Chain A
Amino acid sequence: MGAWRHFPIFMITLPLLGAVLLPFLGYARERWVPYAALLPLGTSTLLGLLLMGRIPADGFLSYHLGGWEPPFGIEIRLDYVGLFLMLVVCGITFLALVYSRRYIGKEVSGGQRTAYYVLYLLLSGAMLGFVATGDIFNLFVFMEILALSSYALVAITGNRNPVRAAFKYILMGAPSSIMVLLAVGFLYSATGTLNMADLARRIAESGYTEVLIVSYILLVVGFGVKAALFPLHMWLPDAHSIAPSPISALLSGLLVEVCAFALVRITFSVFTLRSSDLVMGTADAVGVAAVAAVLYGGIMAILQKDLKMMIAYSTVSHVGYIFLGITAFTAEGLTGAMYHMLDHGLAKACLFLCAGNFIYLKGYRRIEDLKGAWSQMPWTCFAFALASLSVIGIPPTAGFISKWYLILGNVKGGKWLYAVVLLAGSILAAVYCLRVIYYMFFQAGKEGAWEESWRDAPPAMLAPVWTLSLATLFFGIFSSLLIPSLLKAAAYLL
Chain B
Amino acid sequence: MKKVVALLFIVALAVLLLYVVANMPPMGDPENPTATHVISRYLERAEEETHTENVVTGVILNYRGYDTMGEVTVIFCALAGVLAVLGRERRGVIHAFVDRSEVPSSVIVKTMVRFVVPFIILFSVYTILHGETSPGGGFQGGAIIGGSMIIFTTIFGLYESSRRIPLKVRASLEGAAVMGFFLVGALGLLGGGNFLTYAWPRVARSLQPSLVVWLTVLVEVGVGLGGAMVLISILFAMIREEEEIAPAP
Question: What residues make up the interface of A, taking CB atoms closer than 8 Å to B?
Answer: 6, 9, 13, 16-17, 19-21, 23-24, 27, 63-68, 71-74, 111-112, 115-116, 118-119, 122, 125-126, 129, 135, 137-138, 141-142, 144-145, 148-149, 151-153, 155-156, 158, 163, 182, 186, 188-194, 202, 206, 208, 210-211, 214-215, 217-218
Task: Give the residue of B17, B37, B84, B197 whose beta carbon is less than 8 angstroms from that of A71.
Answer: B37
Q: Which one of B72-80, B134-142, B203-211 contacts A?
A: B72-80
CB <8 Å contact, B83 and A115: yes
> Can you offer 7 A-B residue contacts whose CB atoms are under 8 A?
A20-B182, A66-B193, A68-B62, A111-B88, A118-B84, A186-B20, A211-B24
* Further contacts, 11 of them, CB under 8 A, given A66-B65, A68-B62: A6-B189, A20-B178, A65-B196, A71-B37, A74-B67, A122-B77, A142-B70, A155-B84, A158-B87, A163-B85, A208-B33
Interface residue ranges of B27-79 to A (CB < 8 Å): 32-39, 41-42, 62-67, 69-71, 73-74, 76-78
Task: Identify the closest chain B residue to A68 (Cβ).
Answer: B63
Task: Identify the closest chain A residue to B201 (Cβ).
Answer: A67
Task: Give the residue of B64, B175, B194, B195 whose beta carbon is less than 8 angstroms from that of A20.
Answer: B175
CB <8 Å contact, B74 and A145: yes
- Output the least CB separation between A179 and chain B (Å): 9
B185 at the interface (CB under 8 A from A): yes
CB <8 Å contact, B24 and A27: no
B151-191 vs A: 1/0 string, CB under 8 Å?
00000000000000000000110110011001001001100
Task: Identify the closest chain B residue to A112 (Cβ).
Answer: B84
- Output the least CB separation between A120 and chain B (Å): 10
Closest 3 CB pairs of A and B: A152-B81, A192-B37, A20-B175
CB <8 Å contact, B33 and A189: yes
Task: Give the residue of B77, B193, B195 whose beta carbon is less than 8 angstroms from that of A145.
Answer: B77
Q: Which of B16, B35, B82, B174 neighbours the largest number of chain A CB atoms within 10 Å of its CB?
A: B16
Task: Give the residue of A73, A111, A116, A210 whose beta carbon is less than 8 angstroms from that of B63.
Answer: A73
Task: Identify the closest chain A residue to B82 (Cβ).
Answer: A152
Task: Identify the closest chain B residue to A146 (Cβ).
Answer: B77
Task: Give the residue of A24, A142, A192 whose beta carbon is less than 8 angstroms from that of B39.
Answer: A192
B19 at the interface (CB under 8 A from A): yes
- Output the least CB separation between A426 and chain B (Å): 33
- Output the least CB separation between B113 and chain A (Å): 31
Distance, CA A74 to CA B63, complexed state (A): 7
B25 at the interface (CB under 8 A from A): yes
Known: A66-B194, A192-B39. A206 touches B33 (CB 8 A): yes
Distance, CA A16 to CA B66, complexed state (A): 13
CB <8 Å contact, A186 and B24: yes
Distance, CA A63 to CA B195, complexed state (A): 9
User: Within 8 Å CB of B83, what residues of A?
Assistant: 112, 115
Task: Identify the closest chain B residue to A66 (Cβ).
Answer: B196
CB <8 Å contact, A71 and B38: yes
Distance, CA A129 to CA B187, complexed state (A): 20
User: Within 8 Å CB of A153, what residues of B?
Assistant: 84
B23 at the interface (CB under 8 A from A): yes
B236 at the interface (CB under 8 A from A): no
Distance, CA A293 to CA B24, complexed state (A): 35
